[in-house]
Structure 1
Amino acid sequence: MTARTQRTRLIAAGVAAASLSLALTACSSSSTDEGGGAPNATATVSEVKVDDKLAALVPADVKSSGKIIVGSDASYAPNEFKDDSGKIIGMDIDLANAIAARLGLKADVQDSQFTAIIPGIQSNKFQLGMSSLTDNKEREQVVDMVTYFNAGSAIAVKKGNPDKISADDLCGKKVAVQTGTTQAQEIVDVRNPACAQAGKPGVVNDGDKFDLQTDVTNAVVSGRDQAMMADSPVIDYAVKQSGGQLEKIGTTYDSAPYGIALAKGAALAPAVQGAVQSLIDDGTYKQILTKWGVEAGALDKSTLNGAVS
């Protein structure tokens, strides 16, 4: 990506300028803050059958290859990550497989650095990008986006919150974030200016940045950092998988839809959007989200380039 890529939409700058308390409000419901049920990677999902009408929308070159090449940063559990054998799994991966199956194809999911996914689409290395990418107007200038999930930002600390950190005041704290995410940019553009305005020191070093989300989580568990910021399903999953070592503070905030990225004007886009909607309609989509404990982020309707900001 030639510009910084954001996983979730930034808090409105006006809100941050008005107060150091960043108006951390919940997403659509209290269930969003709980992140859904416990994930079960071994749960089965109904077999996905080909939809002939949707398959007819697939461009000839893709159809002849028999596959869709998907770029994904496999460090962002439960959305995309590697199991003990090194296989890429997760909510996005199951959805990619289901979309491909609906279109009579196979999904070839390839691990990629997060910041290399959209450039990979632009260079035709990937046909889809499925990696917790938020659909926003800035991104729609360079790729097309098919919405499929709703997420926000959240914060976690060590269990018991030993440093008594408040979600609306991270001034002077050591905060771990993944490079290239909105949370990393939020510290620079929103949080630290608000700290300066309040006469407080900013988040140390504009955040402790890591290439992999797994390293972000480990930084808090190990005590290197005092807090971590990430997408809400990632925080919820990390807390559930930490064996009681982490807890979420505050509420999920700044909710926005994820989008599947495709090359601008890609002929494949209508087929992908139609496949997502058909999976929503027949219940397969909900099965996948429930499997990964993220059903609170379910959408009723998939749109193509539907960002409002």
Structure 2
Amino acid sequence: MTTAACGADPGAQTAEAAVKPPAELVTDGALTYGVAASFPPFEFKGPDGEPTGFDIEMMDALAGYMALKATPLDIDFDGLIPALGGKRVDIINSAMYIKPEREQKVDFVPYMVIGETIMVPKGNPKGIARVPEDLSAKTVAVTRGAIGETYMTGFNKQLKAAGKPEMKILALPNNQDALLAVQSGRADAFDTSTPGAAYTASQNDKVEVAATFDVGTKIGIAVRKGDTATAASIEQALDKFVANGDYAKLLAKYHLPPEVNYFTAPSASATTSPAAGTSPSAAG
């Protein structure tokens, strides 16, 4: 089967599924997934106002292997896990970082390894270079409910313990709002992923990278806690997507560096899949 990453109709269904789809779906014939479409290059609004990006194309392909249509539900990031728990969506695919606090609520099928980046206005006027020291007494914008908010809260504890002023954490609905807060002067810096930072810098000459940290964090597709059947379906479809080369082609299309490839990362083979009954451990 040719996937969406190679130009196939993303909504096309096959006569016979290559991968058994989940038994219970929000909508018959569709794989409904939660996404916060404001985090390029993973998910963002295209010129037509519809979600596009790495995760969107990947989901078109994975759903296709199950003879399903991929149907995104675009909601704020902090509403994704509640939507999954409330069965408004079948899965979450929104560049979600695999962290212990999330693994208590959902299971993950990992698909990428990334790091975290602090971005600042061009020229870095506040001289931010070290994390967390140089964030002391600064205003840092984050996406509400995303891992950046957790990082900054933890950094504030470190700053307080060191006797330094804490940063002001400006939690906003999405990544685009965090970027705009820096450009408008409401914030001194904002937190995003390393691929997101590379994409933003390539599209916007008014901001730049100031610091990178916690490289090696995994991101994954989330399923309901204990839902090993759905996890197995996603994992099998993902295996086919990787094996036929379309995963690597999609990385190249969105200018993502080879080191983000989870399937060639040294730790990939040591990670236990949730389909086997155990959630993968979080990095960082």
Do residues 284 (structure 1) and 246 (structure 2) align? yes
Which of 192, 211, 229 in structure 2 is aligned with 1:250?
211
Provide the rounded CA distance (Å) in 2 between the counterparts of 1:293 and 1:62.
33
Residues 175-230 of structure 1, C-alpha deviation per residue, up to 9 Å, x if partnerless?
111111222122222x22222233321112xx111112111001112222111112
Partner of 1:161: 124
Structure 1 residues 228 and 288, CA gap change in structure 2 (3 angstroms)? same
Coordinate RMSD, CA, aligned: 2.5
CA distance in 2, matches of 1:107, 1:263: 18
Q: Which residue of 2 aligns with 1:97?
A: 60
The CA deviation at 1:53 is 7.0
Asked whether the 8 Å contact 1:176–1:229 carries over to 2, the reply is yes
Q: Output the CA distance in 2 between the equivalents of 1:64 and 1:86.
A: 23
Task: Provide Cα deviations, 1:145-190, integer angstroms capped at 9, x if missing partner.
Answer: 111111121111111112212232210112111111222122222x
Query: Separation in 2 of the partners of 1:139 and 1:226?
Result: 28
Say which SS state the counterpart of residue 229 (structure 1) adopts: strand
State TM-score, norm by structure 1. 0.77
Gaps of 5+ in 2: none
Q: Does 1:175 align with 2:140?
A: yes
| Equivalent residue letter for 1:187 | M
- The answer to whether the 8 Å contact 1:217/1:238 transfers is no
Ranges in structure 1 where 5+ consecutive residues have no aligned partner: 1-42
Q: Does 1:143 align with 2:117?
A: no
**Counterpart code for 1:249:** A
TM-score, reference length from structure 2:
0.84
Answer with 218-227 or 135-144: which moved more.
135-144
Structure number with the bigger relative contact order (C-alpha 8 A, sep ≥ 6) is 1
The answer (yes or no) to whether the contact 1:63–1:105 under 8 Å persists in 2 is no
How far did residue 88 of structure 1 move? Answer: 0.5
Query: How is 1:11-30 mapped onto 2 (pairs within 5 angstroms)?
Result: none
Q: Is the 8 A contact 1:73 1:114 kept in 2?
A: yes
> Paired residues, what number?
262
AA partner of residue 203 (structure 1): M
Q: Secondary structure at the match of 1:132?
A: strand
Q: C-alpha distance in 2, partners of 1:140/1:91?
A: 23
In the alignment, is the contact (CA less than 8 A) between 2:26 and 2:89 conserved in 1?
A: no
AA aligned to 2:187 is D
Tell me the equivalent position of 1:274.
236
Structure 2 counterpart of 1:183, one-letter code: G
